[in-house]
Amino acid sequence: MAIAAESSRRYTAKFNSLLDKSVLVRLNNGRYYRGRLSGFDLNSMNLVLEVAEDNEGKRWPLVFIGGSYVSEIILEEGSVFDAKEFAEFLVNQGGIGRHLIKVYEDVNVVEVGRIIRVTGNGVEGTGPMAQKVHTIYVEYLRSKGLKV
């Protein structure tokens, strides 16, 4: 039973990670919508898309999609930032001790020293340690081929 509970928790976490991301929602009638997922009901699979476009090119400010019509949901924007990978980068390239680093994989966040948070959007925090983490973050993004 513990494996099923863990699987359910991971599914919910993955679905939560889609919030505010660009997705393609295919319907079982062949139509699709592309937009930013701004809400959902996990039990019914009802979805809310903002700034959406349908397969005919019509734009809609807000679209509510009944869960019974959804055949698949595809994430269209990928994150270059991987919390677990960045934590290893902090240790190996930045010389920051593992004891200072906490990884929250389900929300793709790294916490350093309980006062600095690192996400795909950047580094949150102030002070010398935050500046060091920011420098390492820029190096990490460059190692992924991004120009920063």
| 3-state secondary structure string across 3-54 | HHHHHHHHHHHHHHCCCCCEEEEEECCCCEEEEEEEEEECCCCEEEEEEEEE
Beta strands at 46-54 and 59-65: parallel, antiparallel or unpaired: antiparallel
Closest listed residue to residue 84, CA positions, set 103, 99, 64, 58: 103
CA distances from 63 to 21, 39, 46, 52 (A): 15, 10, 11, 7
Is the pLDDT confidence value at 105 over 80?
yes
So what's the pLDDT on residue 78?
Answer: 65
- Helix axes of 83-92 and 128-143: crossing angle, nearest 10 degrees: 110
CB-CB contact of 133 with 118 (8 Å)? yes
Is the pLDDT confidence value at 97 over 80?
yes
CB-CB contact of 35 with 52 (8 Å)? yes
pTM of the shown model: 0.56
Which of residues 65 and 22 earns the better pLDDT score? 65
Q: What is the mean pLDDT of residues 77-97?
A: 90
Q: What is the mean pLDDT of residues 53-68?
A: 96
Distance CA 58, CA 145 (A): 35
What value, to the nearest 5°, has the Cα angle with vertex 61 and ends 63 and 24? 55
Q: What is the mean pLDDT of residues 54-82?
A: 91
Six token digits for residue 43: 């039990």
Displacement of CA 5 from its chain's centroid (Å) = 22
Summarised one tens digit per residue, pLDDT across range 11-59 is 888 888 888 888 999 999 999 999 999 999 999 999 999 999 999 999 9
So what's the pLDDT on residue 147?
Answer: 73
So what's the pLDDT on residue 121?
Answer: 83
So what's the pLDDT on residue 27?
Answer: 97
Mean pLDDT score of the chain = 91
